[in-house]
Amino acid sequence: MTEPTPAAPAPQPAAPFTAAEDKQYSTLATFLNIIVLIPGLIFYFAFGNRGAMIKEQSRENLNWTINVTGILIADWILGFIVGFIPVVGLVLGLLLTLIYFAVLILNLVFSIIGGTKNNNGELYRYPLNIRWIK
C-alpha cells in the first residue's frame, strides 16, 4: 500500500538579530526611507520582531513615511485640481510643485541624518512626525 507523505515541518521563527545586525538593519531601514513608504513597510513587518533597535526604528520610519506619502499624494491631487483654474491655478500649481519638492528634500535630509545616527547606535526620532503606529 502507499504510505502517507509526511507533513512538512512547521516553520521556525527567525533568529533574533545580534547587536551589530540590529544596528546595521536599523541604519539600512532609515537610509532607504528615501524611497518613501515601501522600505518602511518591509522593515516593519519583516524584521520588526527580531531586535529592539530595528523594532523601534522601523516603527518610527514607517510613521514618517506614512506622513510623507500622505503629503505627497494630497499635494499631487490638489495640483491636479487647481490645474483647471485658469490664472490662479498656475500660481497655485507652482506653489504646490515647490511644496512637493521641499517635502522630498526634507525626507532625503532626515533620512541621511537618521541613518548616520543609527550607525552610531542611536535611535532617531523624526521631527514633525505624527505617530500613527504606537
Query: Which pLDDT value is given to residue 85?
Result: 87
Q: Above 80 in pLDDT, residue 30?
A: yes
Q: Is residue 104 part of a domain?
A: yes
Higher per-residue pLDDT: 23 or 1: 23
Q: Is 31 inside any structural domain? A: yes
Grid coordinates representing 56? Answer: 523601534
**How many domains are contained in the chain?**
1
Whether 83 is in a domain gets the answer: yes
Q: Which residues contact residue 131 at a Cβ distance below 8 angstroms, ignoring those fewer than 6 apart? A: 60, 63
User: Is a pLDDT exceeding 90 seen at residue 126?
Assistant: yes
What pLDDT digit, counting tens, does each position of 33-77 carry?
998 888 889 999 999 889 899 999 999 999 999 999 999 999 999
Is residue 15 pLDDT above 90, yes or no?
A: no
Question: pTM of the entire structure?
Answer: 0.82
